[in-house]
Amino acid sequence: MFRKIELRRTRDFSAKINATFEFVKQNLTPLAKGLIFIGGPFLLLQGLFAGLYQKQILSAGLSADPFAIFSKEAFSWLGVSMIFSIFGYMCLLIVITEFMRLYELREDPEKIDLPEIWEGVKKNILQMIGVGILVAIILTIATVFFLIPGVYLSIVLSLIVPIMIIEGKSFGDAFSRCFTLISDKWWSTFGLIVVTSIIASVMALVFTIPQYIFTFIIGAHKVSGGNAEPALWEQAGLIISSMLYTFGASLLSSIVVIAVIFQYYNLVERKESKGLLSKVDSFGQADEPPVAHDETY
C-alpha cells in the first residue's frame, strides 16, 4: 500500500538517510523514467565523448610521442563531454527537484507523470544552467583565493536549486536564503553529502568493471602490437563501457540530490515550522508537534 512520505518534518542524520532510500524505493519507477528519458540522452552523449577521449588518451599514452596526450582532438572530445555533462546533470537536478515539489503538493503522488516533470524541466532548464555557471564562477574564485571558503560555499550553495524551484525565488534571494537556512547546520549538511556520495560511489563501482576490462585489453594490445590500432570491437567496447559507467554513475548521484532536498525540507521546518503551520491551517490544530531531533554535528 502506498504511504506518502512527509517531506516537511525535522529529521536527524540517520533519519534523513533512511528517508532518502525509502523515497528512492517508493518512487523508483517514475523517477527512473524522468531521469532516463529527460536526462538520459545528455548522459549517454557525455559517456560517448568521454569514451572517445579515453580511447585517444590511451592510444596516445602508449605512443612514442610524450606530448600526444595533449592533442587537439583529445581535448575536443573532453570539452564536448563536459558540455553534455552540464546539461545532463542540470536535467537530473531539475527532474528530481520538480518531482519532489509535485510529490509534496499532490494528494496522490503516484499520479505524477512524465509530461508534468518535462514541463518543469522546460520551465527551469535555461535559468538553472545560468545558475550553475554563476555558482561555478563563485566557487572557482573562492577556491583560488581561499580553499576553505570554497568548500564552505559549495555546501551552502547545494541548497540553491531546491530553494529556487520549490519556493520560486530569484537567484539573489535564494543565495541569501541558503546562508539563513544552513546556519548552525553546515556540518550536518556536509556530512550528509559526504556519506551519500560515498554510498553512491561504492554502488557505481559495478559500472566501472566493463571499462576496466576494455582499458586493460586495449593496453595489452598496444604493448604487444606496437603502434597498431586496437581492433574495432575493442574500441567500441571501451566507448560503450564508458557510456554505461557515465549513465549508471550519474543516475546513482540522484541519491545525493534527494538527500540534499530532504535536508532542505528539514532546515526549513527547523527554522520556520511550515509543515506544522500547514497542519494547523488544514485541521485547526496540530495533532502532535514534530520532534526537533538534535544532530551531533
| Residue 278 CB partners (closer than 8 Å, separation 6+) | 8
pTM (predicted TM-score) = 0.85
pLDDT of residue 286: 46
CB-based burial label for 291 (10 Å; 0-12, 13-18, 19+) = exposed
pLDDT of residue 224: 66
DSSP state of 1: -
Q: Delimit the domains of the chain by residue range.
A: 13-110+187-283
CA 83 to chain centre: 16
Q: Dihedral of the CA atoms 257, 258, 262, 268 (nearest 10)?
A: 50
Candidates 274, 275, 286, 264; CA nearest to 100 is 264
Range 197-204, long-range pairs (CB < 8 A, 24+ positions): 197/253, 197/256, 199/255, 200/249, 200/252, 200/253, 200/255, 200/256, 201/249, 203/252, 203/255, 204/245, 204/248, 204/249, 204/252
C-alpha cell at 192: 550528509
Tens of pLDDT along the chain (297 residues) come to 778 999 999 999 999 999 999 999 999 999 999 999 999 999 999 888 888 888 777 766 555 454 555 567 777 888 888 899 889 999 999 999 999 999 999 888 888 999 999 999 999 999 999 999 999 999 988 888 777 788 999 999 999 999 999 999 999 999 999 999 999 899 999 999 999 999 999 999 999 998 888 888 877 766 666 556 677 887 788 889 888 998 899 899 999 999 999 999 999 999 887 655 555 555 554 445 555 555 555
Q: Which helix (H) or strand (E) holds 6?
A: none
pLDDT of residue 51: 84
